[in-house]
Amino acid sequence: MKRALSIFLGLHGLAVLKWLGDGLSGWLSVPIPGSFWGFLLLLLVLCFVKQSPKATADASAFLLNHLTLFLLPSLVAAAVGLRFVAEAEGLLVASGVLVTMFMAAGCGWVISAWPARQGNDHDA
């Protein structure tokens, strides 16, 4: 019972930080999701406290132990979508090749535009 209460408090603490992050995102009017701001707030809290509170550690362990439940919707969607692969095989291959070519060209362009190193840098 004590552990369940600790997990409950930890989950609520994480939810409050996410909620504060959503509010911060709306207040700043930037295109960064509130969950990102919530994670930054969590990082600040953990840096300030210098250790993870027991409730947060218990909630995190619970979420990590049940991580596969969060992946189930994606896996079901992928399994259902497999029946469409045979119908659109040519389109999938053509788009895959096209995207790969664009990515290779983009990476080549970035590398060629990157300024050359000046002098002798000695990496240790």
Block mean pLDDT (10 aa), the chain, length 124: 87 91 89 89 88 87 86 80 77 88 89 66 52
At residue 78, the pLDDT reads 76
Q: What is the pLDDT of residue 120?
A: 53
| Cα–Cα dist 21/32, whole Å | 10
For residue 118, what is the DSSP state? P
101: tokens are: 């070519």
* The pLDDT value given to residue 101: 93
Per-residue confidence (pLDDT) for residue 82, from 0 to 100? 76
